[in-house]
Structure 1
Amino acid sequence: MKHEFVKIIGVDVLDNYYLRVHFDNGTVKEIDLESVLYGELYEPLRDPDFFRQVMVDDEVGTVVWPNGADFDPDLLYTWDEHVKAFASQMRKVEHSCNQ
């Protein structure tokens, strides 16, 4: 699916690892990140207090946390199409790191 390049201009933290993401084209999406919070970079986001520290990086137009974890805005824009594959890949990374 082809789509325009988008930037994130706002983010609201919802319950249970959900974000409400506001894109510069007017689209707003609620995204469940729980299934991809694995690995050294993303595991800290499982702490609800840390998860709430998300902010928008205006320079690159994406969401970011204090430890440097971020998500590509195009990935978040097309989240429903890619979340299963992305979650599977993140679990594989976590599994290989724990061996």
Structure 2
Amino acid sequence: MWYPVLDEERGMVMNKSQPDLVEVVAEGGCLLLLEFETGELRRLDVSSFLERGGAYERLRDDEYLKLVRIIDGGMALGWPDGQEVYPEALFAMSERVR
């Protein structure tokens, strides 16, 4: 299944430019808390993904948001219906917590 690329993701080169994810916690309200292998915590607001519609609309549902998993060996996030967010977008679109 194909999903649209967000404007924020365009031009982001897929490479090992940031550390791998080691944990993700859905906080609700479209917010995910991300922990990277360096210990850095970042908060990602996935509400911008909702604007694309389609399968990404499901991320609005807190129960579905909680089904998030780390995929591709720590390089990305994914959900059961195939929605994915890749590391460059995760890092660039999130805010540092600590």
Band the TM-score falls in, shorter-chain normalisation: 0.5 to 0.7
Alignment gaps of 5+ in structure 1: 82-99
User: Which structure features the higher share of strand residues?
Assistant: 2
Match for 2:63 among 23, 38, 49? 49
Q: Distance in 1 between matches of 2:19 and 2:69?
A: 17
Match for 2:87 among 65, 69, 73? 73
Match for 2:77 among 49, 63, 66? 63
Deviation at residue 6 of structure 1 after TM alignment: 2.7
Structure-2 change in CA distance of 1:35 and 1:41 (3 Å): same
Report the aligned-residue RMSD. 2.2
When Rg is computed on C-alpha atoms for both structures, the one with the higher figure is 1
Alignment gaps of 5+ in structure 2: 1-15
Q: Distance in 2 between matches of 1:80 and 1:58?
A: 19
User: Which structure features the higher share of helix residues?
Assistant: 1
Within the alignment, does 1:35 sit opposite 2:85 as a pair?
Answer: no
Percent identity between the two aligned chains: 27
- Highest relative contact order (Cα 8 Å, sep 6+), 1 or 2? 2
Q: What SS does the corresponding residue of 2:54 show, helix, strand or coil?
A: helix
Residue of structure 2 in register with 1:14 after alignment: 27
CA deviations on 1:69-97 (whole Å, 9 max, x unpaired) are 0111111111159xxxxxxxxxxxxxxxx
Report the TM-score, using the length of structure 2 for normalisation: 0.67
